Amino acid sequence: MTLPLIRESQVALRNAATSWLEQDPDLETREELTQLLETAGDVNEPGVELADDDASDRAAAWRELRDRFATRLQFGTAGLRGRQEAGPNRMNRVTVGQAARGLADFLLARGDYPSVVVGYDARVNSEVYARDTAEIMQAAGVRVTLMPSQVPTPVLAFAVRHLNASAGVMVTASHNPKWDNGYKVYLGDDDNGSQIVPPSDAEIAAAIKNVAETMRVNELPRNSEYQFASETLIDSYVLETARVLGTEPTDLRFAYTAMHGVGWETFARVLDEAGVARPVTVDAQLQPDGQFPTVDFPNPEEAGALDLAYETASAADAELIIAHDPDADRLAVAIPDADGSWRRFGGNDIGKLLGWRAAKLLAAAGETGTLATSLVSSPALSVVAKRFGLNYVETQTGFKWISRAPEIAYGYEEALGYLVNPETVRDKDGISAAMAILDLAFAQAAEGKTLADLDDEFTAEFGAFESRQVAIRYADAGQLPAVMTKLRAEAPTVVGAVTVAEFYDFETAEAPANILRLQLADGTRIMIRPSGTEPKIKVYIDAVSTDGSIAERREAAAAQADAAAEAMHALLTN
């Protein structure tokens, strides 16, 4: 229920904002909050409510104060992530300070002499938040190691394992819009450097809440006598990641974009170590820049995000494009099409090819292991695992789960995340994944073939797999539970013209999840889940065909996927 803007709630909001101002160490957020309070002005007269459709500046200011101060940014299994502004429901130096002290208290309660390694990317305030974290946690009694400069997220994840740290903190909002920032937490020891999962997330959240309710950030002890990580740590990551390349490099021409992030410096070192010639670079996006001047949303999946890469690659007559998101934990790949345009591989396309590569490597070494993916990713990986006699695990969405699969040899999720080197990094890693893609591309080039040919070979060997997504946006996130409840109560028996052969509710699973699965009679699988960050219901559709030629298989699978997508859109909007 939305807090009504009446006199009593306005007084509480104004008091909360005033208290915030008194402990905020950041001049910029103090100034913008002071201006917001001035615009909001006086509270209402008794019995008068400010209407939500009031278009005045004063009303807008009060609604903004309500959004920032009526709740707080939730610390969950993804840590913290949000817009950078003043208030407990935003990312800023106060929420980061509270998180740092709360995480320190959590670690100190877990055991004696805990340690943490802290990293940061190039987003606005990332280094500030990292240094605040280092000073506050060091003063609280946690041994802190701060990365010496901005680094990709996979390097921080590597550092947690390499240094045998109790925990890791990465200040990044990954591929979020430029005005966001975030705070990602990893745990060492028995958690092997993976991201946090329940119950740790709730325990850390409780510790942060206690700090927010009983302490003031400007009064928290600080200690700047933490240590900096040695450059040899990054050297070790570079060396281990270069070893992912098992094929002799060829003269394959490829282009690269860092999407204004921090991937290039480390990726370039890995290429040099592996003996790979430097790519043609998208210079306008090569250097770190938290303002992201050439892209509205620095996510390789977004329409238009790779346009400069396409232009650069075409001008250089390149045969491959490799793109990282701003913190380089995700990888995008594109190849030329016959008509001169570019074909961007989807996450499932890359995922199945890298899974096939992993299976072949295990077979060649006479080893076994687990191929893992999320529930909403393509079932293609399960077919590969079965063919090679490997274990296969489907997890809840997110690498915090995928990375914990027993005996994991390879894992991926459809949102461009790939884990190809689990002994080095227990998280998605766009840099090692790029080396694995180059490994495949070089092997193909040595035989006069391309990644498109490899995709054809996969289709001939395992079948054609086609994926589609449908996202239905609602006016309010509060509508999502009702939609899911209705789907459970009135389970579809037909999708379009195809019968639903099986309906499964993952709320009844051993590890419950708010996901529904429809298995259609033609083999198409449909997964339905509410978004955790937006007022959307997301539908993931996967179709497969194993009959006929390569072209016929693809045409049949595409037709099934398209028909299911159209039918699900109609079902959720009527």
Domain boundary among 229, 249, 282: 229
Instruction: For residue 550, count CB atoms less than 10 angstroms from its CB and return exposed for 0-12, middle for 13-18, buried for 19 or more.
Output: middle
Assess whether the previous peptide bond of 199 is cis (omega < 30° from 0): yes
174 is catalytic: yes
- Give per-residue burial for 153-163: e unless 16+ CB within 10 Å, then b: bbbbbbbbbbb
Q: Does 267 reside within a domain?
A: no
The total number of structural domains in the chain stands at: 3
Q: Model confidence at 337, in pLDDT bands (50, 70, 90)?
A: very high
Judge whether 307 and 295 are in contact, CB under 8 Å.
no
Choosing from 19, 35, 70, the residue where a domain stops is: 70
**Does 175 lie in the same domain as 32?**
no
- Whole-angstrom distance, CA of residue 302 vs CA of residue 223: 42
What span, in angstroms and rounded, lies between the C-alpha atoms of 443 and 449?
8
Average pLDDT, integer, range 350-375: 97
28, 141: one domain:
no
Give φ, ψ of 462 to 5 degrees.
-120, -15
How far, in whole angstroms, is CA 446 from its chain's centroid?
34
The model carries a pTM of 0.95
Q: What is the pLDDT of residues 378-390, one digit of tens each?
A: 999 999 999 999 9
Task: Name the more confident of 428 and 340.
Answer: 428
Looking at 13, 46, 70, the residue that finishes a domain is: 70
Q: Please classify residue 109 by burial: count the beta carbons closer than 10 Å to its beta carbon, then call 0-12 exposed, 13-18 middle and 19+ buried.
A: exposed
What band does 533 get if pLDDT is binned at 50, 70 and 90? Answer: low
Are residue 471 and residue 558 in the same domain, yes or no?
yes
Name the residue type at position 383.
V
CA 443 to chain centre: 30
Q: How far apart are CA 184 and CA 119, in angstroms?
A: 10
The reply to whether 424 falls in a domain is no
Distance, in Å, from the CA atom of 275 to the CA atom of 169, rounded to the nearest integer, reads: 32
Domain co-membership, 27 together with 165: no
High-pLDDT (> 90) share of the chain, %: 91
- Residue entry with tokens 């990641």: 241
Task: Indicate whether 114 and 207 sit together in one domain.
Answer: yes
Least confident of 146-160, 177-191, 330-344, 465-479: 465-479
Which domain, by its residues, includes 546? 463-573
Same domain, 166 and 225: yes
DSSP sequence for 253-280 = -EEEE-TTSSHHHHHHHHHHHHTPPPPE
| Residues 101, 76 within the same domain | yes
Query: Which one is catalytic: 9, 166, 174, 194?
Result: 174
Q: Are 90 and 210 within one domain? A: yes
**CB atoms closer than 10 angstroms to residue 343:** 17
**Phi, then psi, of 284 in degrees rounded to 5:** -65, -20
Average pLDDT, integer, range 390-401: 94
Average pLDDT over residues 268-285: 98
CATH of the domain at 221: 3.40.120.10
The pLDDT confidence band at residue 1, using thresholds 50, 70 and 90, is low
pLDDT digits (tens, 9 = 90+) for 422-472: 999 999 999 999 999 999 999 999 999 999 999 999 999 999 999 999 999
Return mean pLDDT, the chain.
95
HSE of 109, CA atoms in CB hemisphere, 13 A: 11
Q: Nearest Cα to 399, choosing from 167, 247, 196, 175?
A: 196
Which range (35-39, 163-167, 474-478) has the least confidence? 474-478
